[in-house]
Amino acid sequence: MSTLENKKIAVLATDGYEQSELESPVKALKDVGATVEIISLKPGKIKSMKDHEWSDPVNVDKTVADAQERDYSALVLPGGVINPDKLRGDENAVQFVKSFFDAGKPVGAICHGPQTLINAGVVKGKTMTSFPSVSKDLENAGAIWKDEEVITDGNLTTSRNPDDLPAFNKRIIEEFSK
Amino acid sequence: MSTLENKKIAVLATDGYEQSELESPVKALKDVGATVEIISLKPGKIKSMKDHEWSDPVNVDKTVADAQERDYSALVLPGGVINPDKLRGDENAVQFVKSFFDAGKPVGAICHGPQTLINAGVVKGKTMTSFPSVSKDLENAGAIWKDEEVITDGNLTTSRNPDDLPAFNKRIIEEFSK
């Protein structure tokens, strides 16, 4: 039985994250004992989208400018179309993501979440998946893209969409508990 | 004085297009005599976004499955974050875009509009711009990306965001009238 007692996990997201792709992993991680912090571009609340409509918000625990990789065991990147489009344009967010790869710490990214990995320069040679619309960009960045519900290559675990969440959550808990 | 009398222009978009990036070029093109048709993935209406909120719709004139490049003089690709994310996943849309490049016909793309060009495989070696979040993906696809309000390279004219619309509209009218 995997446990994440005494592990602190960072979830990096901003306005426009896909609601289920943040809430479901957060619940699954907390259910096995992890402490989870929501990291974003600004303090306060960030607003989710559900089926392309604005939906419930979540409280931000720390801004990415103030967050440091050394305080966390692992990183989760939810999707949503607008969320990673904003994150990948923020230098602090891109550096924060890159620092988990530099440290060899486990990272889970789902749907459009992997877009930020392109800007962090960390997908070259990685076998991975994503929402299909991003596949060409990942391949052009050097990834080997496959249409599978969950793929782990080294420290990186990826999934395609909200339907993959059960497999994604199970896998990241396994990886994050190693 | 440029004129587009007797020219028919295709505007390819779907739900989530940035309102001003469709309406402003359409008006500018019609003001100089062009006939403009809205091409989309489905018949009926498509809904715009304005500042990340759903906004006014526009009527679709033809589905992309029924549209043919030979019926048009030029193509415009508006932005918006959700719009090109849907278009680039549709094989008919990608082929429709590619056919304008194969025919050497002028194409204008603004903001996130250029994302669909990546899937059409037509940006390699092109000097161009876009919304900054897409710059890395365009470079990885072989483009030379620059931060300028409007750039024309061969048949392709690109701009960054709604603030560039006056320069974008002026330039595409010049290019489309050649």
Tens-digit pLDDT string for chain B (178 aa): 568 999 999 999 999 999 999 999 999 999 999 999 999 999 999 999 998 999 999 999 999 999 999 999 999 999 999 999 999 999 999 999 999 999 999 999 999 999 999 999 999 999 999 999 999 999 999 999 999 999 999 999 999 999 999 999 999 999 999 9
Q: How many beta-carbon pairs below 8 A join chains A and B? A: 48
What is residue A69's DSSP assignment?
A: G
Q: Which residue of A has its CA nearest to B140?
A: A140
Side chain identity at A69, as an amino acid letter? E
A40-51 mean pLDDT: 97
- Those residues whose C-beta lies under 8 Å from the C-beta of residue A75, and which sit 6 or more positions away, are A9, A10, A11, A12, A69, A96, A97, A100, A105, A106, A107, A108
Pairing of strands A156-159, A151-153: antiparallel
Which whole-number Å values give the CA distances from B104 to A161, B101, B154, in the listed order?
37, 5, 9
Which pLDDT does position A1 carry in this prediction? 58
Exposed, middle or buried by CB within 10 Å (0-12, 13-18, 19+), for B5? exposed
Which pLDDT does position A3 carry in this prediction? 87
Cβ within 8 Å, pair B133-A88? yes
Cβ within 8 Å, pair A88-B141? no
Nearest Cα of chain B lies from the Cα of A139 at a distance, in angstroms, of 9
Q: Name beta bridge partners: A45.
A: A59
Which pLDDT does position B23 carry in this prediction? 98
pLDDT single digits (tens) A90-146: 999 999 999 999 999 999 999 999 999 999 999 999 999 999 999 999 999 999 999
A19-27 mean pLDDT: 98
Which pLDDT does position B75 carry in this prediction? 98
Chain B contact probe: residue of A50, A52, A139 with most B CBs at under 10 A: A52
What is residue A13's DSSP assignment?
A: -
| Residue bearing tokens 């009238």 | B177
Crossing angle between the packed helical segments B19-31 and B165-176, to the nearest 10 degrees: 40
Pairing of strands B151-153, B156-159: antiparallel
Q: What percent of chain A has pLDDT over 70?
A: 99
Q: How many CA atoms lie within 13 A of B2 on its CB side?
A: 18
Closest residue by Cα to residue A156 from B23, A81, B67, A141: A141
Q: Which residue of A has its CA nearest to B86?
A: A133
pLDDT tops 70 at residue A85: yes
Which pLDDT does position B51 carry in this prediction? 87
Q: Which two tokens stand for residue A131?
A: 């929402």
